[in-house]
Chains A and B, each alone.
Chain A
Amino acid sequence: MDLKRTIREKIATSIMLVFTGLSCVLLFVMIFALYFRSRPILFIKPIQDLLFGTVWAPSRGEFGFFPFIIGTLWVTLVSVAIAVPLCLLSSIYLSEYAGARIREWTKTPIDLLAGLPSVVYGVWGLLVVVPVIKDYIAPLFGSFSTGYCVLAAGIVLAIMIFPVIIHISVEVMGYVPREIREASLALGATRWQTVKYVIIRKALPGIIAGFMLGLSRAFGETMAVLMVAGNVPRIPKSVFQPVYTLPALIANNYGEMLSIPLYDSALLLASFILLLVVLIFNIISRLFLSRIERSIR
C-alpha cells in the first residue's frame, strides 16, 4: 500500500518537475526559435540597414523596418498620453472619493473591458473612431485625414489599456493605510491635498507599474491597430496620417510571406525585434520600479 503511494508520488513529482523546467525554458526557446528563423535575412543585410532603413518594398528586396518601429512608438505614445491622465484621475476618484459600493459596481465593467477581444475594439474603432476623425476632428485642426491614422489607433489602444492601469492603480491606492490618510486630514489638509502629497507618494511605485504594464500592452497590440491605423509603411508626419506598426506588419502579410524570398525571414525578424523590445522594457521597468520602491520610504 505504501509502495503504491510512493511510486505514484515519485512519478507525479517527476512530471511536475519536468513541466516546471519546461516553463522556465520556454522563454529561451522562443527567443532562439525566432532568432533562428530571422537568420537568413540577417546574413544578407546588415542590421543597421534593416533597423534604420526607411524603405519597405519586399518585392524589390528592400526591408527597412524604421517606419514600423517609429510607427509603433508613435501609436504607443499617443495611447499612453490619452490613457494616463484619464486613468489617473479616474483611479483617484474611485479610490478616494467614491464610496465602497460604487467601487464594487465598477469592477464588473472594468473586467469586461479587459476581456473584450482586440477585434471587437477594432470593429468599434472602424465604425466610430475612424469616421469621427475623418469628419470632425481632423477638419477641426485644419487637416485632412482618411480617419485611418495614428490618432485612431491611439484612441482605440488607450481604451484597451484603461482596465489594466485602473485596476492596478486603485488596488495600490487602497493599500495605503487608513491611518496615514487620517493623519493628513487631521492636520487640516483637504482630501485633494492628501491625495496629492500623501497618497500618490505612497502608491507611486504601483501606479507607475500599472502605467508600464499598460504601455507594454499597447506596444504589442495587433488586431485593433491593424484595423484602424491605415497600414502605410511610411513615417507619419502627424497624428492624422496613416501608420504601420510592427505587430500589424507581421499579422497583415501572412499570406504573401512564403511567396517572396526573404519575406518570411523578415517578418520573423520583426517578431524577434518585438519580443526583444518587450523583454528589455519589462526588465528595465522592473529595475526602475525597485529603485523607486526603495526611495519612497
Chain B
Amino acid sequence: MDFRKIEENFFKVLMIFSTLIIFASLFWILIIVAIKGIPAMNLAMITQAPKGGFYLGKEGGILNAIIGSLLVASGSTVLALILSLPIVLYINVYLTKKSRLAMFTRFSLDVLWGIPSIVYGAFGFSIMLFFGLRASLLGGIITVALLIIPIMSRAMDEVMQMVPIELISASYSLGANRLETALKVVARQALPGVLTAVLIAFGRGIGDAASVIFTAGYTDSVSFSLFRPVATLPLAIFYQLGTPFPEVQARAHASSLILTIIIMLISIASRYLTKKFKSFVVK
C-alpha cells in the first residue's frame, strides 16, 4: 500500500504542475500583450492610419488595419453564413443522419476543417490568378470565407443535431413543409448556437494571417474598395514587428492588444450564448 500511495502522490504533484504550466503560459501571453500593448495605445493609434514611408512611417496609427480586419472578417463571415446555413439546414432537416449525402458532406466538412490556413491562402491565390484578381479586399473575403465555412458549419451542425426530433415531427404534423420547418423551427430553436458558430468563425477569420497574406495584400491607407489591397491586424503585427523602429513596433503591439481584446470579447460572448442555449435544450 505504501508504494501505491507514493505513486499516487508523485503523479498528483506532476499533474498539478502540468496544469499550472498550461495556465501560466496563457497568463504570460496575455501579460506580455498587455505590457507591450497598453503603453503603445493612444487616441491617434486607433483613429489614424500610418503616416509616411512604406510601412516605416513613424507616426500615425493602425486604423488601416482595424478597418481592414473588420471588413475582411465581416465580409467573409456573412459570405460563409450565406453558404453554411443552407448546407447545415439541408443535411439536418431534409436528409436523415444515415443518408449517404449527409455523411459525405459531414466528412468533407470535417476534412476541410483540418486543412491548414496557409493552404487556403495558396488556394485562394490560385483562384485569384485564374480570375485575374489582384490582392484585394475581395480576394481576402473569399479566401477567409472558404477557411471559416467548415468551422462555422461544424459548430452549427452540432447544435442543430441537438434539436429534438419531436419538435420537427410536431412541425410537420401541423402541415409545415420542410423549408418552413427548417427556418421557423430548427433554425429558431438553434439560434443561440448558430450565433455562437458565427462568432467563433468571425474570431477565427479576424485573427488568421496565413490566409490573407497572399490574397488581401497590405496597405498603409484605410481602404474600403473591394478591388484594392487592404491591411489586416495580423499582418500589421507581423510586418511592423519585423522593423527596427520602436515606433513602428509599438504599432505592432497595439494591433496585438486590439486583436487579443476582440478575441477575448468573442470568447466571453460565445460562452454566454452557449449557457443560454443549454437552458433551452429539452432533455
Q: Is B259 an interface residue (CB 8 A)?
A: yes
Query: Is A16's CB within 8 Å of the partner chain B?
Result: yes
Shortest distance from the beta carbon of A186 to any chain B beta carbon, whole Å: 16
Q: Is B119 an interface residue (CB 8 A)?
A: yes
The answer for the CA separation of A150 and B7 in the assembled complex, in Å, is 34
- In angstroms, Cα B118 to Cα A94, docked, is 33
Q: Which candidate, A29-37, A50-58, A134-142, A233-241, is the interface stretch facing chain B?
A: A29-37
Scan A91-133; emit 1 where CB is below 8 A from any B CB, else 0. 0111001000000001111011101111111111011100000
Q: Report if A81 contacts B (CB, 8 A).
A: no
The reply on A197 being an interface residue by CB < 8 A is no
Contacts A112-B263, A119-B209, A219-B116: A19 and B29 contacting too (C-beta < 8 A)? Answer: no
Complex contact B123–A33 (CB within 8 A):
yes
Residues of B within 8 A of A126 (CB): 241
**Residue numbers in B under 8 Å from A211 (CB-CB):** none
User: Would A20 and B28 count as touching, CB distance under 8 A?
Assistant: no
Candidates A19, A124, A128; contact of B86 at CB < 8 Å: A19
* Residues of B with C-beta under 8 A to A166: 22
Nearest chain A residue, comparing its CB with the CB of B241:
A123
Stretch from A2-10, A40-48, A62-70, A173-181 at the B interface: A2-10
* A34 to B124 Cα, complex, angstroms: 10
Q: Report whether A16 and B94 are in contact in the complex, using a CB–CB cutoff of 8 Å.
A: yes
A278 on interface, CB distance cutoff 8 Å = yes
Q: In the complex where A90-B18, A117-B209, A128-B28 touch, is A250 in contact with B118 (Cβ < 8 A)?
A: yes
* Whole-angstrom distance between the Cβ of B72 and the nearest chain A Cβ: 13
User: Which of B32, B115, B203, B210 is in CB contact (< 8 Å) with A251?
Assistant: B210
Decide: B86 and A37 in contact? CB cutoff 8 A.
Answer: no
Interface size in chain B (residues, C-beta < 8 A): 83
Query: Nearest Cβ distance between residue B119 and chain A, in whole angstroms?
Result: 5
Q: Is A86 an interface residue (CB 8 A)?
A: yes
In the complex, residue of chain B having the shortest beta-carbon distance to the beta carbon of A195: B11
Q: A271–B206 Cα gap in the complex (Å)?
A: 22
B residues 91-130 with Cβ under 8 Å of A?
A: 91, 94, 101, 104-105, 108-109, 111-112, 114-119, 121-123, 125-127, 129-130
- Beyond A23-B149, A117-B259, A118-B208, is A274–B119 a contact (Cβ under 8 Å)? yes
Known contacts A94-B19, A120-B256, A123-B252, A222 near B209 by CB under 8 Å = yes
User: Among the listed B32, B125, B129, B264, which residue makes an inter-chain contact with A124, where contact means beta carbons less than 8 Å apart?
Assistant: B32
**For residue B230, which residues in chain A have a CB less than 8 angstroms away from its CB?**
none
Establish whether residues A90 and B117, one from each chain, have CB atoms under 8 Å apart when the complex forms.
no
Please name all residues of chain B whose beta carbon is closer than 8 Å to the beta carbon of A8 when the two chains form the complex.
179
Q: In the assembly, what is the distance between CA of A27 and CA of B111, in Å? A: 8
Question: Beyond A8-B179, A222-B118, is A108–B241 a contact (Cβ under 8 Å)?
Answer: no
User: Which residues of A, 260-276, contact B by the 8 Å Cβ criterion?
Assistant: 267-268, 271, 274-275
Q: Is A279 an interface residue (CB 8 A)?
A: yes
Whether A123 touches B32, Cβ cut-off 8 Å, given contacts A267-B122, A275-B115, is yes
Smallest beta-carbon distance B65→chain A, Å: 12
Could you tell me if B116 and A278 are in contact, using CB atoms closer than 8 angstroms? Answer: yes
- A284 within 8 A of partner (CB): no
Q: Which one of B25, B268, B271 has the greatest number of beta carbons of chain A within 10 Å?
A: B25
User: B104 to A24, Cβ gap below 8 A?
Assistant: yes
With contacts A23-B112, A119-B209, A251-B121 known, what are 17 further pairs, Cβ within 8 A? Answer: A9-B178, A9-B179, A13-B179, A20-B86, A23-B153, A30-B119, A90-B19, A93-B12, A115-B204, A120-B259, A123-B32, A124-B28, A126-B241, A128-B32, A190-B8, A220-B118, A222-B116
A residues lining the B interface (CB < 8 Å): 5-6, 8-9, 12-13, 15-17, 19-20, 22-24, 26-27, 30, 33-34, 36-37, 85-87, 89-90, 92-94, 97, 106-109, 111-113, 115-124, 126-128, 159, 162, 166, 190-193, 213, 216-217, 219-223, 226-227, 247, 250-251, 254, 267-268, 271, 274-275, 278-279, 282
B residues adjacent to A (C-beta < 8 A): 4-5, 7-8, 11-12, 14-19, 21-23, 25-26, 28-29, 32-33, 36, 83, 86-87, 89-91, 94, 101, 104-105, 108-109, 111-112, 114-119, 121-123, 125-127, 129-130, 146, 149, 153, 177-180, 200, 203-204, 206-210, 213-214, 234, 237-238, 241, 252-253, 256, 259-260, 263-264, 266-268, 270-271
Ranked nearest first, the 3 interchain pairs of A and B with the lowest CB-CB distance are A220-B116, A117-B207, A271-B122
